[in-house]
Amino acid sequence: MAYYFPEPSRTFNEYLLVPSYSSAECMPSNVSLKTPIVKYKKGETPAITANIPMTSAIMQSVSGDRMAVALALEGGISFIYGSQTIESEAAMVRRVKNYKAGFVTSDSNIRPDQTLEDVIALKEEKGHSTIAVTDDGTANGKLLGIVTGRDYRVSRMTPDTKVSEFMTPFEKLIYAEEGVSLKEANDIIWDHKLNSLPIITKDQRLSALVFRKDYDEKKEHPNSLLDDQKRYIVGAGINTRDFAERVPALVDAGVDVLCIDSSEGFTEWQKITIQWIRDHYGDDVKVGAGNVVDRDGFMFLAEAGADFVKVGIGGGSICITREQKGIGRGQASALIEVAAARDEYYEKTGIYVPVCSDGGIVFDYHMTLALAMGADFLMLGRYFARFDESPTRRLNLNGTYVKEYWGEGSSRARNWQRYDMGGAAKLKFEEGVDSYVPYAGKLSDNLQISLDKIKATMCNCGALTIPELQQKARLTLVSATSLVEGGAHDVILKDTSTAIK
């Protein structure tokens, strides 16, 4: 007879935190969000600890190299998406590890034979006003000039005006050659009152850009997550098909931590993948596994040697696994059981295997709930997809700016490896959708607000660290009626667009 779980499958929406006593030292400024990313033995220090409990999802529409740098700057980790060629994923990892803080690879580039219309479209897509003009329109082409908002006036020029006619040509640019230090580059920017400084090679090819705004940004991000060589820490996704080729390439590129990207991790395929990594690299290469939703799944992956275990099936905003296959579990129920299994495993073995909560986050307070329920860190897709730093296009949809967002189980991603059950190499049916999310601007601005909310709520619970939150948190189930009570009710909300003056 089939086994029936005694409790309903519950979501974060069904819980609230009940405040606990908080002392005078419980202020957000005193809260630490440091958290282990990989397993460690009792009394030892984890090989990788994040400064904030946030990682970005292993998705084409979320985690590229630009997102990885931006999130590491804030103290978190991006997992570069694995649904691409081995060479291109390794190249993304290498760009992050080779990135010098302050030296930015240009992602807004154009050819001199293109037009003002192309410039406006590129500015609309990328959101940047500084555009490099190179001979081939790439980030490393021969630098021929720069276009900024001061170089053109849309009202006085025709859309077909060639870029070469209004750009600031190379001869009039102030630039520096490769090898210049960041301090020297910033001195040039300040001495010449520039907004940006191109860095070029000896044969005039564009190497990077240094921006005035990044000078202050660097000082504003003391939580940057760096390795022992002062390089940004970055993760990458792998699958259970081509790991023997993909893992060596990613390790060679300098990746810090891997994660098997799968919608369902309670499978021999993951055990085989982890074992191959252990046989070839021992414990030097860190690899997370998942996803699972119960004690048995966690125990299986922990005993297989996973460095962390990812929890969640079907809870992502673009995931339709539950709808298509009828498998999964409410994220709160799954996380509570897996966190208990983690504590049980730690008590039995002395090895702490961190738990990553993946999916089910709708509101910022759900993040704090997930941490209180036992998550060591979170993996977020929709949340990060909204920002400038995600790899997708920014579009104007019926007067509203949006960014594209699609699931790894959608036809657009064609990530059959993520859902592989040992059959043919193709996607038989979709487990994700293609969609849009509201554009939200820069990662740093939005993330700081979310982190402030987490810290404030932790103080309400009398906790200054994540482990302390997990120990002290008191949670209550909520009824449908109390959900209504928790929002604005029994008032007439002002509509600012039609308010009587």
- Active site positions, annotated: 319, 418
Which candidate, 500, 486, 412, places its Cα nearest to that of 59?
412
* Beta pairing partners, 218: none
In 135-234, where do the E strands start and end? 143-147, 168-169, 176-177, 196-200, 206-211
Token readout for 110 is 């154009």
For the chain, helix (H) and strand (E) counts, in that order, are 16, 24
Residue 159 CA to residue 120 CA, distance in Å, equals: 9
Helix, strand or coil for residue 143? strand
Residue 235 CA to residue 81 CA, distance in Å, equals: 9
In 186-275, where do the E strands start and end? 196-200, 206-211, 235-238, 257-260
CA of residue 315 relative to chain centroid, distance: 17
Q: What are the b/e assignments for 129-159, b being 16+ CB within 10 Å?
A: ebbbbbeebebbbbbbbbbeeebbeeeeeee
The one-letter amino acid code at 319 reads C
Computed on alpha carbons and rounded to an integer, the radius of gyration of the chain in Å comes to 24
Residue 251 CA to residue 21 CA, distance in Å, equals: 47
Residue 64 CA to residue 78 CA, distance in Å, equals: 8
